[in-house]
Amino acid sequence: MAIVLRSLHFLILLSVLCISASIPFALAQDENEFIYNGFLEAEDLRLDGAAAIDHTNGLLQLTNNLSPQQVGRAFNHFPIKFDTPSSLSFSTNFVFAIVPHLQNLGGHGIAFAISPSTNFTGRGLPNGYLGLFNDSNDGLSINRILAIELDTVPDPEFGDITSNHVGIDVNGMKSNELAPAMYFSNKEGKNISLDLLSGNPMHLWIDYDEAEKLLNVTLAPTRIPKPNRPLLSTSIDLSQILKESMYVGFSSATGTIGSDHYILGWSFNKSGPSQSLDVSSLPPLPERRKEKPSLVIITSLIAVAIVLITLAGAVAYILRRKKYEELLEDWEEEYGPHRFSYKNLHKATKGFKDTELLGEGGFGKVYIGILASSNVQIAVKRISHDSKQGMKEFVAEIVSMGRLRHRNLVQLLGYCRRRGELLLVYDYMPNGSLDRFLYSNENPNLSWVQRFRIIKGVASGLLYLHEEWEQVVLHRDVKASNVLLDAGLNGRLGDFGLAKLYDHGTNPQTTRVVGTVGYLAPEITRTGRATTCSDVFAFGVFLLEVACGRKPIEGLRLPERVILVDWVTECCRRGAILDTSDPRLEGNYVVDEMELVLKLGLLCSLAMPAARPSMRQVVQFLDGDADLQELPHDSPIFGTFTTNESSDSMSFLSHASTRSMSTTNSILRVGR
Ligand X SMILES: *[C@@H]1O[C@H](CO)[C@@H](O)[C@H](O)[C@H]1NC(C)=O
Q: Does 121 bind ligand X (CB under 6 A)?
A: no
CB-wise, 137 or 274, nearer to ligand X? Answer: 137
CB-wise, 247 or 367, nearer to ligand X? Answer: 247
User: Could you tell me the CA-to-CA distances from 97 to 68, 180, 203 in Å, in that order?
Assistant: 19, 17, 9
For residue 139, which of 180, 176, 102, 97 has the smallest C-alpha distance?
A: 176
Burial class of residue 307 (count of CB atoms within 10 Å of its CB; 0-12, 13-18, 19+): exposed
Residue 496 Cα to chain centre, angstroms = 44
Tell me the closest approach of the beta carbon of residue 171 to ligand X, in angstroms. Answer: 11
The residue type of 459 is: A
The catalytic residue among 48, 260, 477, 495 is: 477
Tell me the closest approach of the beta carbon of residue 175 to ligand X, in angstroms. Answer: 20
CB-wise, 120 or 415, nearer to ligand X? Answer: 120
**Cβ contacts of residue 105 below 8 Å, gap of 6+?**
197, 257
CB-wise, 123 or 346, nearer to ligand X? Answer: 123
477 is catalytic: yes
Q: In the stretch 375-404, what mask flags binding to ligand X with x, by CB under 6 A?
A: ------------------------------
Q: Does 122 bind ligand X (CB under 6 A)?
A: yes
Half-sphere exposure of 243 (CA within 13 A, CB side): 7
Tell me the closest approach of the beta carbon of residue 284 to ligand X, in angstroms. Answer: 38
When CB distances to ligand X are compared, the closest residue is 123
CB-wise, 129 or 519, nearer to ligand X? Answer: 129
Considering only residues 473 through 492, tell me which ones interact with ligand X, judged by CB under 6 A.
none
Are 141 and 170 in contact by the 8 Å Cβ rule? The answer is no
Stretch that binds ligand X, among 31-39, 130-138, 549-557, 660-668 (CB under 6 A): 130-138
Considering only residues 132 through 171, tell me which ones interact with ligand X, judged by CB under 6 A.
134-137
CB-wise, 137 or 349, nearer to ligand X? Answer: 137
Half-sphere exposure of 650 (CA within 13 A, CB side): 16
CB-wise, 123 or 633, nearer to ligand X? Answer: 123
Tell me the closest approach of the beta carbon of residue 217 to ligand X, in angstroms. Answer: 26
Bridge partners, 418 (sequence order): 421
Tell me the closest approach of the beta carbon of residue 111 to ligand X, in angstroms. Answer: 16
Give the CA radius of gyration of the chain. 54
Q: In the stretch 8-47, what mask flags binding to ligand X with x, by CB under 6 A?
A: ----------------------------------------
In eight-state DSSP terms, residue 409 is B
The residue type of 524 is: I
* Helical packing angle, 448-463 and 591-604, nearest 10°: 40
User: Could you tell me the CA-to-CA distances from 345 to 299, 320, 324, 498, 523 in Å, in that order?
Assistant: 44, 14, 10, 20, 40
Tell me the closest approach of the beta carbon of residue 116 to ligand X, in angstroms. Answer: 12
Considering only residues 77 through 116, tell me which ones interact with ligand X, judged by CB under 6 A.
none
Tell me the closest approach of the beta carbon of residue 158 to ligand X, in angstroms. Answer: 16
Q: Does 336 bind ligand X (CB under 6 A)?
A: no
Residue 457: its H or E element: helix 448-463
Binding interface with ligand X (CB under 6 A): 122-123, 134-137
Which residues are catalytically annotated?
A: 477
